[in-house]
């Protein structure tokens, strides 16, 4: 039995023996659970193939198949297994080192729409401070919370992460203020969860989309309160989203002197915790402890009711606070004017969006696609360029 060398960036290139080995899987008992360990044995294979050509039943070079097998050994029966995915809208060849959900996660991370989240509002419009949340940091916090829950419940962490990273890709500039404005301006209406599906299915990769699995698409579409994801991983993200935004919005509101920690009703903080860390710890543990033996994701009645009251407190004292939201009417007006400007003459749109109209997409929807994809900074810059007169540079 030969021990595998540590992996590094040049692992597959430098390990001369790797193409000549086959991976076999053996059972190991760990803490009462059957798990997979890897044994490496010599074989006569001369190249890395999806399945060993010698017919020995091993999986030389196909790491993906090993990962899929490990899922069946490690995850709960009610978890989503990669090799049982409902697939993609367009069929494509499998990767030999990543599962379908890992590929979805990677495609989202490397997308342009994901990178733009760093300059999109979470709650406070374009804050000057370095430590306020953006749509990007919110997404990362949702992912961390959701992964922790899924790992503890032996669900598919890769699927959970992919849904979490993609759930807000369709958000407008200026947060929910921009969403409200675009919903009014666009005759077809606008919802950011539906827009996220358009982003990953149509708009990314110059109109080709990312071609994600149906499980990820379902989780993204149904992450809002009224949604009903068909996977447990999607339900984990749905709950983690609320945990993240309520608690980090409290943190930002305290930083912005909108509220103080002691302003939160004591009957809530005594139960949930007196800090960001304590509250998240309480919520995550409660979900795990009450979902571990069930095929659903739930909170205890006591914690759920307290958490709901905490959300109501935030809506009353932060999300509608005139100090925190005093600039939102300007942002809404800006978004409406930009929509009207491009809807009036679609020739003003970038070529990739004009191509969508040529392909049969509704004009109104494509204009919404373009405006929704803007970052806060780009929307302001575009508005100033189009609407604000500039001094004539001749003296």
Identify any residues that bridge with 170 across adjacent strands, giving them in sequence order.
Answer: none
Q: What is the pLDDT of residue 393?
A: 66
Q: 56 lies in a domain? A: yes
Together in a domain, 257 and 289: yes
Is residue 55 located within the same domain as residue 115?
no
The total of other beta-carbon atoms located within 10 Å of residue 292's CB is 11
Is the same domain home to 156 and 182? yes
| Confidence (pLDDT) at 133 | 92
Residue 55: inside a domain = yes
User: Count of domains in the chain?
Assistant: 2
Range from 23-27, 94-98, 298-302 carrying the lowest mean pLDDT: 23-27
Please report the pLDDT score of residue 323 as a whole number. 82
Same domain, 220 and 303: yes
Q: Are residues 43 and 104 in the same domain?
A: no
**Total residue count of the chain as it appears in this document:** 395
Instruction: Please tell me whether residues 29 and 115 are part of one structural domain.
Output: no
Same domain, 260 and 210: yes
Q: What is the pLDDT of residue 94?
A: 93
Q: DSSP labels for 150-172?
A: HHHTT--HHHHHHHHHHTTTTPP
Which residue, of 260, 292, 319, is where some domain finishes? Answer: 319
Domain boundary among 266, 294, 319: 319
- 198 and 73 in contact (C-beta within 8 Å)? no
- Shared-domain flag, residues 302 and 211: yes
- Residue-number span of the structural domain to which 59 is assigned: 11-84
- The answer on 141 and 19 residing in a single domain is no
Of the candidates 319, 351, 372, which is a domain's last residue?
319
Task: Let me know if residue 264 belongs to a domain.
Answer: yes
Give the pLDDT mean for 366-380. 97
One domain, residues 21 and 167: no
Instruction: Examine residue 329 and state whether it is found in any structural domain, yes or no.
Output: no
- The rounded distance, in Å, linking the Cα atoms of 104 and 82 is 11
DSSP-derived letter for residue 372 is: H
- The answer to whether residue 136 is domain-embedded is yes
Is there a domain that residue 90 lies in?
Answer: no
pLDDT at 45 over 60: no
CATH number of the structural domain spanning residue 288: 1.10.3210.10
23-37, 207-221, 335-349 — which is least confidently predicted? 23-37
Q: What is the pLDDT of the chain when averaged over all its residues?
A: 86
Task: Give the pLDDT confidence of 236-283 residue by residue, as tens digits.
Answer: 999 999 999 999 999 999 999 999 999 999 999 999 999 999 999 999
Q: Which pTM value belongs to this model?
A: 0.84
pLDDT of residue 395: 67
Assess whether pLDDT exceeds 70 at residue 26. no
Instruction: Scan for tokens 């419009």, then name that residue.
Output: 125
Overall average pLDDT of the 283-291 stretch: 98
In a domain, 75, yes or no: yes
In this structure, is residue 30 part of a structural domain? Answer: yes
Q: State whether 299 and 185 are in the same domain.
A: yes
Say what percent of the chain tops pLDDT 90: 77
Same domain, 20 and 139: no
């Amino acid at each position: 039995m030969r021990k595998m060398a540590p992996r590094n960036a040049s692992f597959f290139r430098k390990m001369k023996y790797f193409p000549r080995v086959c991976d076999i899987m053996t059972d190991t008992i760990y803490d009462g659970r059957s798990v997979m360990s890897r044994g490496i044995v010599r074989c006569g294979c001369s190249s890395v193939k999806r399945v060993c050509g010698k017919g020995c039943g091993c999986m030389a070079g196909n790491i993906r198949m090993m990962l899929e097998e490990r899922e069946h050994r490690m995850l709960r029966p009610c978890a989503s297994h990669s090799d049982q995915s409902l697939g993609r809208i367009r069929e494509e060849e499998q990767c030999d080192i990543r599962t379908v959900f890992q590929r979805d996660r990677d495609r989202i991370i490397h997308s342009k729409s994901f990178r733009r989240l760093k300059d999109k509002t979470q709650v406070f419009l374009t804050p000057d401070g370095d430590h306020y949340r953006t749509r990007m940091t919110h997404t990362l916090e949702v992912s961390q919370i959701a992964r922790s829950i899924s790992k503890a419940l032996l669900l598919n962490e890769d699927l959970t992460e992919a849904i979490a990273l993609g759930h807000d890709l369709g958000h407008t500039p200026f947060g929910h203020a921009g969403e409200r404005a675009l919903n009014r301006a666009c005759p077809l209406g606008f919802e950011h969860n539906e827009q996220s599906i358009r982003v990953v299915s149509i708009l990314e990769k110059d109109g080709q989309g990312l071609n994600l699995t149906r499980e990820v698409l379902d989780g993204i579409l149904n992450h809002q309160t009224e949604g009903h994801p068909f996977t447990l991983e999607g339900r984990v993200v749905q709950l983690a989203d609320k945990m993240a935004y309520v608690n980090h919005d409290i943190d930002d509101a305290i930083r912005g002197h909108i509220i103080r920690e002691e302003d939160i009703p004591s009957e809530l903080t005594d139960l949930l915790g007196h800090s960001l860390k304590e509250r998240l710890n309480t919520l995550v543990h409660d979900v795990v402890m009450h979902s571990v033996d069930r095929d659903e994701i739930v909170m205890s009645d006591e914690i759920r009711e307290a958490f709901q009251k905490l959300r109501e407190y935030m809506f009353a004292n932060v999300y509608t606070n005139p100090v925190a939201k005093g600039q939102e009417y300007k942002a809404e007006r800006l978004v409406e004017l930009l929509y009207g400007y491009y809807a009036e003459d679609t020739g003003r749109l970038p070529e990739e969006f004009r191509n969508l109209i040529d392909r049969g997409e509704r004009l109104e929807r494509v204009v919404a696609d373009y405006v929704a994809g803007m970052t806060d900074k780009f929307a302001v810059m575009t508005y100033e360029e189009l609407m604000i007169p500039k001094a004539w540079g001749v003296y």
